[in-house]
Chains A and B, each alone.
Chain A
């Protein structure tokens, strides 16, 4: 099971999007999320869609994999679409379904909102697909840096994130070990009614928690022994650098945004 552990849904690669500075990715996504709501006609929507498709293709991750990752969201998108069909009553009546009148405005509106939703989720999932969790942590620490002025524990937050990431595989291995140990003693995790199976989780969780607390204590001691005194006066090995590529991509994004606002009044 060692090699099966992949944290998050990161897909290793060396594409343009993979190499982009994570801070740049987060910034662009942040503004994209806002900008999506400014699209108001077919041209502006097309611009956004083309941008999203181009970005997706340039990650060189198989489309099937990306779309599979979006499965839980399809339901929400479909739900939004149907809700709009029922609620919106604008434009001309297109057809009748069991006494419900479907208006042309509803169809357009439903389609636009669903598309908006889809684009948002697609772009944000590209972040986790192309960025390692630790890069995201670094970027978050860097982007939140200004909050230090109001005593927000930015460094501690980032350290907590990176330590949890480091211990996820360790705890998964441990869970596997404990469940095998308990199964060998006759605990049945796989069959029986739900209630019994839930009950069987208790002998799994208790040892897991006990050992996690013990680990935490030992880790704290080891960190202290290795000279950890909090973020003050600490340097960092991993440093993010804005490269020419990042600026180029950002300018391209700005151009897309400009084009969007220009076509809004068409």
Chain B
């Protein structure tokens, strides 16, 4: 049994007394070292979940427990030491005047000694392959590079969990690939839980588990493969199904038997060329 790290117990949240519930009786658990993707279309409450995990918002009903600590006004700073968060807009979370200053910001807040900061900066910038940009100013970086710096600055404070709240939404496809590659490398090398929040189904394939949100409720919770099987239902709640999954569906309709639901091009290719193989 894996160690439970984040637990949502019957959490409900709304932004004001007269407002509708953004989250309605949501419960789920996220384990240590797990990669969970949370997907949902705009307004499904997925970003609110991220903010609740970091104590940026507090629920009206229910309880959130992070690493054994219930999140409330008193424990919020302890929780933030363990939960690192990358936001959507690359520009609006870059505090420092240079890459090195920005990576240091989180460590400065936590009172790290200077020598330690210098060492960690080198280390984490290498982890996101940005070591050549130590003294570069933010306006000379691309969006993807800024997001990688944001990830580095979180790694510097050794969080237990990394949340990417639509961190790739404002990037071009190249930047998106960079980020996804960076986070999967980090997840492999470190004992860290990873939560990626997105509305793009392409980004959930690498996750171990997917939580699908729809109008404030957990709509489904399964492996990416099982989620992709429910294409029509996914479309109904406003999510775009990846091209590979659609193609596999079309092939099935032509009586080409594909046993496994393919997640990417390679898997589909594998299925197709072994189609008549009896091995």
Measured CB to CB, the residues of A under 8 A from B are 2-3, 5, 134, 162-163, 165-166, 169-170, 173, 214-215, 218-219, 221-229, 233-239
- Verify B157–A219 contact, CB threshold 8 A: no
Q: Which of B61-69, B99-107, B191-199, B245-253 lies at the interface?
A: B99-107
- Verify B111–A165 contact, CB threshold 8 A: no
- Verify B77–A229 contact, CB threshold 8 A: yes
Measured CB to CB, the residues of B under 8 A from A are 54, 56, 77, 80-81, 84-85, 87, 89, 91-97, 100-101, 104-114, 117-118, 121, 137-140, 153-154, 157
Q: How far is the CA of A2 from the CA of B117 in the complex (A)?
A: 30
Q: How far is the CA of A227 from the CA of B81 in the complex (A)?
A: 7
For A229, the chain B residues whose CB sits under 8 A away are 77, 109
- Verify A236–B138 contact, CB threshold 8 A: no
Question: Separation in Å of the A15 CB from the closest CB of chain B?
Answer: 19
Q: How far is the CA of A173 from the CA of B104 in the complex (A)?
A: 25
Question: Separation in Å of the A171 CB from the closest CB of chain B?
Answer: 10
- A166-B138, A218-B87, A227-B80 are contacts. A235–B56 as well, Cβ < 8 Å? no
- Verify A228–B109 contact, CB threshold 8 A: yes
Q: How far is the CA of A243 from the CA of B104 in the complex (A)?
A: 24
Question: Separation in Å of the B66 CB from the closest CB of chain A?
Answer: 14
- Verify A162–B97 contact, CB threshold 8 A: yes
Other than A222-B92, A226-B80, give 20 A-B pairs with Cβ distance below 8 A.
Answer: A134-B101, A165-B97, A166-B97, A166-B138, A215-B92, A218-B93, A219-B95, A221-B56, A221-B87, A222-B93, A223-B105, A224-B80, A225-B80, A225-B85, A227-B77, A227-B109, A228-B109, A229-B109, A234-B109, A237-B101
Question: Separation in Å of the B11 CB from the closest CB of chain A?
Answer: 19
- A218-B89, A218-B93, A219-B95 are contacts. A225–B56 as well, Cβ < 8 Å? yes
For A162, the chain B residues whose CB sits under 8 A away are 96-97
For A219, the chain B residues whose CB sits under 8 A away are 92-93, 95
Interface of A is mostly: helix
| Smallest CB gap from A167: residue in B | B91
- A219-B95, A222-B93, A223-B95 are contacts. A234–B137 as well, Cβ < 8 Å? no
What are 7 A-B residue pairs whose CB atoms fall within 8 Å in the complex? A166-B97, A214-B92, A226-B105, A227-B77, A227-B80, A237-B114, A238-B101
| Smallest CB gap from A172: residue in B | B139
- A2-B139, A218-B93, A237-B114 are contacts. A227–B157 as well, Cβ < 8 Å? yes
- Verify A225–B54 contact, CB threshold 8 A: yes
- A234-B109, A236-B108 are contacts. A226–B140 as well, Cβ < 8 Å? no
- Verify B92–A235 contact, CB threshold 8 A: no
Q: How far is the CA of A3 from the CA of B94 in the complex (A)?
A: 19
Q: How far is the CA of A214 from the CA of B101 in the complex (A)?
A: 23
For B91, the chain A residues whose CB sits under 8 A away are 170, 215
Q: How far is the CA of A237 from the CA of B157 in the complex (A)?
A: 14
Q: How far is the CA of A224 from the CA of B109 in the complex (A)?
A: 10
Q: How far is the CA of A215 from the CA of B90 in the complex (A)?
A: 11
For B139, the chain A residues whose CB sits under 8 A away are 2, 5, 169-170, 173
| Smallest CB gap from A137: residue in B | B97
- A2-B140, A166-B97, A227-B77 are contacts. A218–B117 as well, Cβ < 8 Å? no
Question: Separation in Å of the A52 CB from the closest CB of chain B?
Answer: 30
Q: How far is the CA of A162 from the CA of B94 in the complex (A)?
A: 12
* CB < 8 Å neighbour of A227 from B110, B121, B140: B110
- Verify B95–A235 contact, CB threshold 8 A: no
* CB < 8 Å neighbour of A235 from B101, B114, B154: B114
Q: How far is the CA of A169 from the CA of B85 in the complex (A)?
A: 25
For B54, the chain A residues whose CB sits under 8 A away are 225
Q: How far is the CA of A60 from the CA of B32 in the complex (A)?
A: 58
- Give the residue among A134, A222, A225, A238 with the most B Cβ atoms within 10 A: A225
Question: Separation in Å of the A216 CB from the closest CB of chain B?
Answer: 8
Q: How far is the CA of A222 from the CA of B154 in the complex (A)?
A: 11
- Verify A236–B140 contact, CB threshold 8 A: no
- Verify B95–A163 contact, CB threshold 8 A: yes
Q: How far is the CA of A195 from the CA of B160 in the complex (A)?
A: 58
Question: Separation in Å of the A151 CB from the closest CB of chain B?
Answer: 22
Question: Separation in Å of the B173 CB from the closest CB of chain A?
Answer: 21
For A239, the chain B residues whose CB sits under 8 A away are 114
For A228, the chain B residues whose CB sits under 8 A away are 105, 109
* CB < 8 Å neighbour of A226 from B106, B113, B117, B138: B106
Q: How far is the CA of A239 from the CA of B117 in the complex (A)?
A: 12
Question: Separation in Å of the B136 CB from the closest CB of chain A?
Answer: 12
Q: How far is the CA of A234 from the CA of B94 in the complex (A)?
A: 18
For A134, the chain B residues whose CB sits under 8 A away are 97, 101
